[in-house]
Structure 1
């Protein structure tokens, strides 16, 4: 009997169906020479300190650091887990071969190896390595089962990560709690959570300490084109007024016109972080919520494996593209131009074997189902459109730069015009060569004439508070501000955390009351700020240094770094942290109870509500029975999830919608023209919100 072990019952069910194990047993399925069982994620964990020695049972600064000579695993103390493990243990004892069908990644490898180790598995082990749960992918995976030893370095990296987190978390948390927690408050310290918190605290301090400075700029309007003074800003209004007076009576003369055509590639395919960023930006989904949704789509066989950190596909995936595109039924009008336009585009910005790690980018599988929740439809739509756009031609644009002079002073105007939208049509850009940015009038070199100058008074702006999207990006680049996408890719190996764990880190910081959400902003609490101020050891709170540790874990995974060397470095680090805390001067960090914070917020809301004008009742336009109310992430029908699925996101195309706009939309089916929407490339445009015949929200651009 060959025994297969998957990470979840739902995955086991899909595998069992494909390989013919159709007889249901207690805790497994059987048939065709196979039995298929499952874990529930982690069944095992590293032992607690007191399970190694009695002296570590009590929290005592004098016994730190706690460094076991050998780490041991244990079964998690839960009746359901114990019951399932007993079934696994019995199946392992009878198996002639075990097939590890865990999630194909570092965490999945660690989960299954620990379970098989605890079950005393001593028969040959094979590895199923797949990127989607379609029948075709599972069959291909079983045809190409791999040797378990080929993934020993992957397991070593996962093991090193778990041990590193134990060593740092257990020792630093106890040390800081005992020194600064007043014997009551547990101060949680983590290898990834603490530098992430430090990013939020540092940004917040920069904002609070920011002192705005006033400056002045001069621009002038010449025949509908806006020209800016090339020497930039003035520090005093008098300087600006002197120049204004000087140029006011002189004519503007065109010196040169430069019009450059350029091509813009389609946006990159999604990795997990980029998808979480986009969902937060567009729909205000939390990172954790996005991960749950895309995991659900994966388990429904609609998208590929989600916990990935690459935006590329392997070259052998190219042959499967036509089949995937044909399966995207609701997008036939967008897919047909690709399938009927000759050879399908193959770009090195999409297909690159060297950029593939465990898995490729998140894409549709080509299997489609209408069995999706409204939120799943939104996320699926993002993934599908990105994939489709990758095979469209590049967008052709024209960048225009016009240089001019007024007397001896130089001015410049710039404009951008979309000549051929190409891939942009996939995201709803009009095909009538819509101009998204300032398009300048036609000028001729040497022409001159009167102009209308003006002085603009401005202030320097502080940095913005982190949103979840911003923080995910910062974690990806170890806190460095990087706009260039290629450079960002190079920095991924130094990011803090992994794509699959970053959402959980942000959630943990909120649960421990170190950060809180204020609408889309993430704010550090007084406790979080005080904790970071107390930590003097840069190793604990530096995103860059933590990123270097993350890189070493990746090197272990690639077989380029020895786990023993990593463990020795960890022990030195833990010793240094404990030593510094022991001999530092003591103070107490006050943890503000979450209940107290919630009470203050509730009281504030009550005061606001008592003075507010009652809002009109909006009857749901779809069912006509419920009413439309505002929730945390969307406006929706009060009968949502019962008999109606009507929803409107809080923001669309980066434009936050107002109550007044929603009122108009519900009552009239459309709004007036709204400014400030943004397309995939970040360009602003105007639009009208409308509800289609299925009561789905969309943006219509007014025709020129």
Structure 2
């Protein structure tokens, strides 16, 4: 039997694939993937495989299965095929790309899940995995920022806290199962109950609400882009994801606007690069130290996302629209990390106490 030595990285689009491939020296382009240094980097063009809940089969927790296996047990998987009545048909490009992914998968000793760092990204990969039904070692590369060092570590080692990631994913899958089960049941009483007891769909997303200016999330970025640049949501969303794929900003999550401690530590190193920004660089020079008001509370998890930050890379070859949105993000980063008056007072008080003790 031929030993499998290839490691295949699967991500959601070619923009991300190109950035990842460049970081791990997989620089030779083939139709549908990049190759080199023992890696193949390919992409799905979104959620290429769809999942449909098995109607009539009640959701049951099975202690003999992990949550991924339970997901496979309760859903059917098929290649996406939009309703022809709406004008869409199954794409031949999808079929060709899926064939490439399957061929690379078959040659791989391990597959790296580098889909978008969201629960939706997890589902997209699970759908693909259970559709192919080709068991293989899987590592999760959770790439909220596309920097070379981060990419290499994630591709080689997977998530830095696999136990925490598994716990988070299991909880999200249970919620997903319950929602799918309720929808499939079409129970009028459940609908009435939901109407009488409305819940916020984002309630399971842990938000770090702070006083003063916060970092952008996708929603607030869109609002600012609408007011200041005249952009609608769709172009704002697409441009933000291009900036992420180019490694210039962190992943633009919808709701979260706080950051975990490791991202704050990175910003302390990367912040000075923003002094070279042509439009707002002067603001960076005025910030002596970075405010911690946007950092996570202890109970928060990075797997629900974090606020949009820059990555320390200097932008080049941006389109005019990309440059304008990037500068809007840079401006908010400066504002969010600039200490407010209360923080300055606390720091001054702390210094005075230290001086008294030293005296």
TM over 0.5: yes
Verify the 8 A CA contact 1:271 1:311 in the aligned structure 2.
Answer: yes
Bigger strand fraction: 1
- Aligned: 1:71 with 2:86: no
Q: Could you give the per-residue CA deviations for residues 338-380 of structure 1, whole angstroms, max 9, x where no partner exists?
A: 2xx4xx1342344545444323210111212253334333322
Distance 1:368 1:10, change over 3 A: same
Verify the 8 A CA contact 2:240 2:252 in the aligned structure 1.
Answer: yes
Please show how residues 157-556 of structure 1 align to structure 2 within 5 Å. Answer: 157=172, 161=176, 164=179, 168=183, 266-328=212-274, 329-330=276-277, 331-338=280-287, 341=288, 344-350=289-295, 352-358=297-303, 359-395=305-341
Distance 1:89 1:349, change over 3 A: closer
Verify the 8 A CA contact 2:51 2:75 in the aligned structure 1.
Answer: yes
Q: Distance in 1 between matches of 2:238 and 2:215?
A: 19
Out of 27, 30, 38, the residue aligned to residue 33 of structure 1 is 38
Distance 1:14 1:388, change over 3 A: same
Q: Could you give the per-residue CA deviations for residues 606-648 of structure 1, whole angstroms, max 9, x where no partner exists?
A: xxxxxxxxxxxxxxxxxxxxxxxxxxxxxxxxxxxxxxxxxxx
Distance 1:144 1:7, change over 3 A: same
- Aligned: 1:83 with 2:96: yes
Counterpart secondary structure, 2:315: coil
Counterpart secondary structure, 2:318: coil
Q: Could you give the per-residue CA deviations for residues 678-703 of structure 1, whole angstroms, max 9, x where no partner exists?
A: xxxxxxxxxxxxxxxxxxxxxxxxxx
Alignment-derived partner of residue 98 in structure 1: 111
Please show how residues 24-63 of structure 1 align to structure 2 within 5 Å. Answer: 24-47=29-52
Verify the 8 A CA contact 2:253 2:306 in the aligned structure 1.
Answer: no
Bigger helix fraction: 2
Alignment-derived partner of residue 132 in structure 1: 145
Q: Where does the alignment leave 5 or more consecutive residues of structure 2 unmatched? A: 1-5, 59-73, 82-89, 188-193, 200-209, 343-359
- Aligned: 1:151 with 2:166: yes
Out of 27, 41, 44, the residue aligned to residue 22 of structure 1 is 27
Alignment-derived partner of residue 11 in structure 2: 6
Q: Distance in 1 between matches of 2:43 and 2:135?
A: 19
Alignment-derived partner of residue 109 in structure 1: 122
Q: How many residues align?
A: 291
Distance 1:149 1:134, change over 3 A: closer
Q: Where does the alignment leave 5 or more consecutive residues of structure 1 unmatched? A: 53-65, 173-190, 197-263, 397-704
Shift of 1:159: 7.8
Shift of 1:34: 1.5
Q: Distance in 1 between matches of 2:186 and 2:247?
A: 42
Q: Could you give the per-residue CA deviations for residues 379-405 of structure 1, whole angstroms, max 9, x where no partner exists?
A: 222221121123334258xxxxxxxxx
Q: TM-score when scaled to structure 1?
A: 0.37
Aligned structure 1 segments of 4 or more residues deviating by more than 6 angstroms = none
Shift of 1:108: 0.4
Q: Distance in 2 between matches of 1:105 and 1:391?
A: 25
Distance 1:163 1:114, change over 3 A: farther
Verify the 8 A CA contact 1:269 1:312 in the aligned structure 2.
Answer: yes
Q: TM-score when scaled to structure 2?
A: 0.70
